Amino acid sequence: FGAFMEIEPGFDGLIPMGELADHRIERADEAVHTGDEVTVKILRIDTKRKRISLSITKANK
């Protein structure tokens, strides 16, 4: 699935599994842990469903 990230209080986003690392991982905790601060790129904002898709891999390029 991926990892949920608090962008700021009240705003959460999802980092899909394929956007967590440049290599294949089995579990999100292989790339991030609760409390980690990471740089992300916003991929999509779905205002109707109130969802934000994020990427660590694209933020680091």
pLDDT given at position 60: 76
pLDDT at 25: 97
Q: Which residue is it, tokens 């934000």?
A: 52
pLDDT at residue number 56: 97
What would the two tokens of residue 58 be? 């694209």
**pTM for this entry:** 0.87
- The residues spanned by each domain of the chain are 2-55
Mean pLDDT by runs of 10 across the 61 residues of the chain is 91 96 96 96 93 94 75
56 and 42 Cβ atoms separated by less than 8 Å = no
pLDDT reported for residue 57: 97
The sheet with strand 11-16 has its strands ordered as 2-8, 11-16, 51-55, 41-46
